[in-house]
Structures are given as structure tokens and as C-alpha cells.
Structure 1
Amino acid sequence: MARYSEITEEGSTNVYADLGYGDAAEMQPKSQRAGEIARAIKARRLTQDGAAALLGIDQSKVSRITRGQFRGVSEAKLLELVAKLGHEVTIVVGPVRRRAGKNELQFA
């Protein structure tokens, strides 16, 4: 019987950077917002058509966003959609304690 050793590699906190995407810094926060949009739609038991009507966008765009296909959708637009789904959006700007700043959104 062949034996295989387990190979693991610790990744960063950004899966897009780990996968080599050039725009990884943009993708990570947009992914979080798209995930929250999908969760909020599901929690409210909205159909994609119902969500599209509430959000003021096409059903096809709702489908793409909830499947993680958010390229071409600005971060500002994603934040607007999160707010339309009943979440308070607060942006805090403060001093950086590390070398690079971070973009973080917390969902309650």
C-alpha cells in the first residue's frame, strides 16, 4: 500500500492573494460583502426576483453577485446593496498601527 505524506501550507488571510490574483486586495473585501448580500437575501427568504426589485438591480446581477461573480461591481455598489438589505454600514477611518492599512467590514 502506497503511503502519502500530508502536505500542508499555511495561507495568508486573503485567499485571492494565495491564489495569485493581481487584484487580491480588492477581491477580499468585495467577497465579504457579496457573501453578506447572499446571506441577507436567504435570511429574508427573498427570491432573486424579489431581491432584484428591493435592490433596484437586474435579477441576473443578483444571481452573479450571490454566486461570487462580482467583478465589475464596485465596492461602493456592494455597500449600497448591503444597506438596502437592512444592514447599517459604517466606515471608520483611523490611524494605521501596522505597515499596511486594512479594509474590514463587520456584520452583526
Structure 2
Amino acid sequence: MAHPAAKHDVFHAIADPTRRSMLILLADREMAIAEIAGRFPITRTAVNKHLHVLSDAGLVRSRRVGRETRYRLRPDPLVELKRWLAFFEQYWDEKMANLKHFVETVDE
């Protein structure tokens, strides 16, 4: 089953610290909006807006259970982020190698 195109990209969605915290919270289990809202010092309306951004980016899925909407992490779109970060690992590896070389030569 194909997923609709994302309205927000993953990078935009994770740019906000509250949304990142929500992703961590939803990683282990499905939660209702009211339960999620109880974990943050913001209004339920603000929580709902954050969840919509995450949903539009494909990072969470929602489903109706009776009168409530429940959310859970969908980690697949994070692969895009992982690929992007992996590109920059080469620079960190180079910096660490330079630091190691510097430390070893200073001790001599």
C-alpha cells in the first residue's frame, strides 16, 4: 500500500525539540492525544498541531479507537535522515583522526 506524499519533510518535522520528544515517547507504544498532552507543558491544541506535522512527514501514524485518536512512531522516513548524516560521518572521522594525530605528536 503506497503512502501519500509527505506535506512536511522529515528535517522540518524533527527541527522542533517538542516533536523530537514526541517521537521518543511514541517509539515504544501507541498513545492517545490526551496521554501525550499530559507529558508536555503545552496545550492539547499545540500537541495536536505538532502531531499533524509529524504525521504529514510520515513519522507517526494515527488510528481511531472509539472516540480517541492514537499515535505511534513510523520510523521508516528516518532513513532519509540517517543517509544524510552518514554523508557527514566522513568529516567527523577525519577530524577525530587529526585530533588523535595531534595528541600523539604533542606527547612526543
| TM-score, scaled relative to structure 1 | 0.29
- Flag the structure with higher strand content: 2
- Flag the structure with higher helix content: 2
Computing the radius of gyration from Cα coordinates, the structure with the larger value is: 2
